Structure 1
Amino acid sequence: MLAVLPFLGQYASGEGEGKLVSFIPVEQEVERGLEAFLKRSIQEAENEGADHIVLEIDTPGGAVNAADNIATIIKSTEVPITAYVADRALSAGAYIALNADQIIMEPGALMGSAAIIDQSGNTAGKKAESFWHAAMKSAAELNDRDPKYALAMADPDVDLPNYNAPKGELLTLNGEEAVKVGYAEGMAEDRTELLNLLNLKDAEVSDAEVSIAERIARFVTNPIIIPILLSIGSLGLVLELYSPGFGVPGFMGAGALLLFFFGHMIAGFAGWESLLLLIVGVVLIVVEIFIPGFGVFGVLGAVGVVASIVLASGQSMQYILLAVLIAVAVTVGGSYLFIKIFGYKGFFKKIILSDATKSDQGYVSNTTRDELVGLEGVAVTPLRPSGIADFGDERLDVVTEGGFLSAGTEVKIIKTNGSRVVVRAC
């Protein structure tokens, strides 16, 4: 099952005795967390004096910016790197493999299908496509591979009917096809065959392991997870203001934001400056709550929080601002539904006076004398429309319904409301 080109022999030396081979997994989606892990792992392999690095690739693809950065890391090391496609190297995974010094594939493994798409699954636009096609072509030419196959992986307009990739379809190569077109230097069933193929069967093997912190970082830096964490964080903290005490919403919100910043700090994208900016932003928002500053403190605080997220994300400005907008929309909608269903019982209720003085609770400024209605008397002064009228033993300040009544006119009380006594001519 071995197929090999003479190129592989340059690494042979006593069947690998005394050599060190470092195996580094390239698994799951390609994102910034994987980039940070590979940077750390390759650096450690170099420090340990590794003679050869093997990237064990099994990925469906992922973010273009992360793949491009990973390719730069691969090309910058002086240690020979072999991409071993153990199952699939699709999309960004194919690009990573093409940037290695050589490619070995399992017989049933696949490589290709590398069209660039956006977060919604649609084509990413002409400018992004042009960049990606040029990148795939350059990666193929890096090791003298025919670039038409790399372009066929990325561009459905390239016609390769002999490899099940007619116009309108993306090219995906299996192991045998990859060897045939010069995109793989050989095939190997497992690590043993791979090391034999590299003439390194007696070499010492080390495995790079993903730490728990890096697993968290890889999860947190996933482009799909980022808006979810930001939404949970902002919604949780806002809902905490609507409920008494520091409970489940507050812990969830704070936990989500801490997880976001912790993961991005582990991945190497967030520094202490972004965390400090977040703290300053939160403090300014709190100051706005207790010391009204015509919105200045609140606006500066919101800008600080958003800026800290942008700095920490390691993503493009367009994407992270979209994630923030999603979080804001979720927070506003969730808060509205919460208040609608449960009412408002939270923090602001303690600092905002919401009581009202109502007559049914015993709060009255003047007693309404209903017993006066129906009494008849005489206007003592002209009523224009207010004045004084005599009702037997009592003189009252009265008001007409709007008309003028001269002094001496007989009047009748038709309505009372507190101190207001309304009269009409008899």
Structure 2
Amino acid sequence: MAALLLVPALHTQTAFGQGKGKLVYFIPVEQEVERGLEAFLNRSISEAEDAGADHIVLELDTPGGAVVAAGNIAEILQNSKVPITAYVKHKALSAGAYIALNADQIVMKPGSLMGSAAIIDQQGNTAGKKAESYWHAAMQSAAELNDRDPKIALAMADPDVDLPEYGAGKGKLLTLKANQALKAGYAEKIVEDRTELLEYLNLSDAKVKDMEVSISEKIARFVTHPVIVPILLSIGSLGLVLELYSPGFGIPGAMGASALFLFFFGHLIAGFAGWETFILLGAGILLIVIEIFVPGFGIFGIIGSISLVTSIVLASGNTFQHILFSILIAILITFFGSFLFIKFFGYRGFLRKLILFDSTQTEQGYVSNVTRRELEGASGITLTQLRPSGVALFNDERLDVVSEGGFIPREAQVKIVKVTGSRIVVREFKRETNEVIRED
């Protein structure tokens, strides 16, 4: 095996076409690998097949990206009816290297790089053992498709693989330069430009068709990026919620609606969202509005929220774990954003017309009952029997009073022991001795 790695592989290239009258599609694979790129490649390869193309060239210059998107792209390449060449113009790293390995052959430009394909999570940390095991197997399987040494592919993804002859000792991921890739059998040819590439493919006289990413596909690629998804959902939910706290329809509502529109439109163009997602979205919004205006014990709101979340999950095209993580981020940002807005600006939304937010407070001059504390300790006489309520006279003033619970006869001596609002509590006593009669 070591001798095989040190000896350049000799390739006898079989021509994919005869040149004249042939058609070659050049498809750019640039920037990060995500679901938007997957949709663009799927459309481009389908168009090439429908046009009867004789060859497809993927021009790679990518730092890598999402594993899910890379896996789907690999499947598209393997199912293509047209031969595919991966032309590494600058770099094909991580998921880009995996895509290149799934092409029928690899051609590199001088100074280009391929490799460094460790799998990491969104926080930049090494993924779990399960994910690593899957990715290592996927890299090796891709290499074996065209009889390439799987150990080299594994060294691109696993730093524990020791290949010092290619500059990848233990603890370092393998990244092949163009001449190293040619030596290891990971590239069939090194060419300077398209002209040399077409000559190598025996298609120098072929008609060239350049595929371009449309405006809508550029939007789709942007909004389907794993980092952009939680940002759009956060802006969308926070904007719409803040709009409820603001009078009229203003900037927060416009920003929220635009963010959600971009999310669903981008995923629709990318082919991940169907019209059923828009139906669920509309139904969710309608049910939440009904919950606001029609008391439904929360049922309409709960069903509406479930409908909204379901529409986002179906439209995302991402893994279930990733989209739930994005939704959780959006919920947290919306909660804290709303809390800070209400704290510093107060509530000024349209619900002010439906809900009474004002309250009558003593500090503002609102007093329902005057508590006459000055009456406590005053003595008087009952004008009626107290059973336990009645009337008593205190300093020529008739007052409605109540005993502490027992019976007090008419014309009995009483003393006010407690005043709370309009409630005046009295207790019977004898004036001669000023002895309070305590009741059992």
Answer yes or no: same fold by TM over 0.5: yes
Secondary structure at the aligned position of 1:8 is classed as coil
1:122 aligns with 2:125: yes
Q: In the comparison of the two structures, how many residue pairs are matched?
A: 422
Letter in 1 for 2:315: A
Q: Aligned letter for 1:324?
A: I
User: Residue 215 in 1 paired to residue 212 in 2?
Assistant: no
Match of 2:205 in 1: 202
C-alpha displacement of 1:208: 0.2
Q: Provide the residue aligned with 2:438 in structure 1.
A: none
1:298 counterpart = 2:267: no
Alpha carbons of structure 1 residues 197 and 4: separation in structure 2 relative to 1, 3 Å: farther
Cα distance between partner residues in 2 of 1:370 and 1:409: 23
The amino acid that maps onto 2:16 is Y
Cα distance in 1 between the residues matched to 2:169 and 2:313? 42
Partner amino acid, structure 2, of 1:123: T
Could you tell me whether the CA contact under 8 Å between 1:4 and 1:186 is conserved in 2?
no
- Asked if 2 retains the 8 angstrom alpha-carbon contact of 1:31 and 1:218, the reply is yes
Provide the residue aligned with 1:377 in structure 2. Answer: 380
1:261 aligns with 2:264: yes
2:113 to 86, 110, 114: 110
Going from structure 1 to structure 2, the CA distance change for 1:4 and 1:182 (only over 3 Å counts) comes to closer
CA contact (8 A) 2:17 2:54 kept: no
The AA in structure 1 aligned to 2:289 is V
- Kept in 2, the 8 Å contact 1:381–1:388? The answer is yes
Distance 1:7 1:220, change over 3 A: farther
Match of 2:98 among 92, 95, 99: 95
Instruction: Note closer, same or farther for the CA distance 1:375–1:141 as it changes in structure 2 (3 Å cut).
Output: closer
The alpha-carbon distance between structure 1 residues 229 and 147, as it changes in their structure 2 partners (threshold 3 A), is same
For 2:3, the equivalent position in structure 1 comes to: none
| Alignment partner of 1:158 is 2:169 | no
Deviates more, 1:95-104 or 1:399-408: 399-408
**C-alpha deviation, 1:267, in angstroms:** 0.3
Q: C-alpha offsets along residues 85-114 of structure 1, whole Å, 9 cap, x if unaligned?
A: 001000100000001111111111100011
Letter in 2 for 1:53: I
Contact 2:15 2:202 in 1 (8 A): no
Q: What are the equivalent positions in structure 2 for 1:214-293 lying under 5 Å apart? A: 214-293=217-296
Q: Which amino acid in structure 1 is aligned with residue 251 of structure 2?
A: V
- Label 1:6 to 1:17 Cα distance change in 2 as closer, same or farther (>3 A): farther
Alpha carbons of structure 1 residues 7 and 82: separation in structure 2 relative to 1, 3 Å? farther
The 1:7/1:312 distance shift into structure 2, 3 A limit, reads: farther
- What amino acid is aligned across from residue 392 of structure 2 in structure 1? A
* Aligned positions of 1:43-122 closer than 5 A: 43-122=46-125
* Aligned partner (choices 9, 12, 16) of residue 11 of structure 1: 16
Separation of aligned partners in 1, 2:9 and 2:59? 18
Moved more, 160-169 or 210-219: 160-169
- Aligned residue number for residue 134 of structure 1: 137
Determine the structure 1 residue equivalent to 2:27: 24
Q: Is the 8 A contact 1:81 1:100 kept in 2?
A: yes
* CA 1:212–1:4: 2 relative to 1, 3 Å: farther
- Residue 313 of structure 2 is aligned with which of 297, 310, 315? 310
Shift of 1:390: 2.5
Provide Cα deviations, 1:274-298, integer angstroms capped at 9, x if missing partner: 1101111111111111112221111
State the Cα distance separating 1:411 from its structure 2 match: 3.9
How many angstroms apart in 1 are the aligned matches of 2:305 and 2:16?
A: 56
State the TM-score, normalized to the length of structure 2: 0.89
Superposed displacement of residue 171, structure 1: 0.6
**Which secondary structure does the structure 2 equivalent of 1:10 belong to?**
coil
Give the superposition deviation at 1:420. Answer: 2.8
- Provide, for residues 100-130 of structure 1, a one-character-per-residue CA deviation record: whole Å limited to 9, x for no partner: 1111111111000111111111222122112
Q: Distance in 2 between matches of 1:414 and 1:53?
A: 100
d(CA) in 1 for partners of 2:363, 2:160: 79
3-state SS of paired residue (1:11):
coil
Is 1:39–2:59 an aligned residue pair?
no
Match in the other structure for 1:344: 347
After the TM superposition, which residues 381-392 of structure 1 pair with which residues of structure 2 at under 5 Å, given as runs? Answer: 381=384, 386-391=389-394
- Which residue number corresponds to residue 172 of structure 1? 175
**How far, CA to CA, are the matches of 1:333 and 1:288 in structure 2?**
23
Residue 328 of structure 1: which of 319, 327, 331 is its match? 331
Pairwise CA distance, 1:11 = 2.5
- Cα RMSD after superposing both structures: 2.5
Mapped partners of 1:356, 1:59: distance in 2:
61
Task: Indicate the percent of aligned positions where both proteins have the same amino acid.
Answer: 69
Deviations 1:224-277 (A, max 9, x none): 111111111111111111111111110111111111000000000000001101
**Number of the residue aligned with 2:424:** 421
> Which whole-Å CA distance do the structure 2 matches of 1:280 and 1:176 have between them?
58
Name stretches of at least 5 consecutive residues in structure 1 with no aligned partner: none
| Separation (CA, whole Å) in 1 of partners of 2:162 and 2:361 | 81
C-alpha distance in structure 1 between counterparts of 2:262 and 2:26, whole Å: 29
Shift of 1:354: 2.1
Structure 2 residue runs of 5 or longer lacking an equivalent are 1-7, 435-440
Q: In the alignment, is residue 185 of structure 1 matched against residue 199 of structure 2?
A: no
Note closer, same or farther for the CA distance 1:4–1:152 as it changes in structure 2 (3 Å cut): closer
1:48 Cα deviation from its structure 2 partner? 2.0
SS in 2 for 1:57: strand
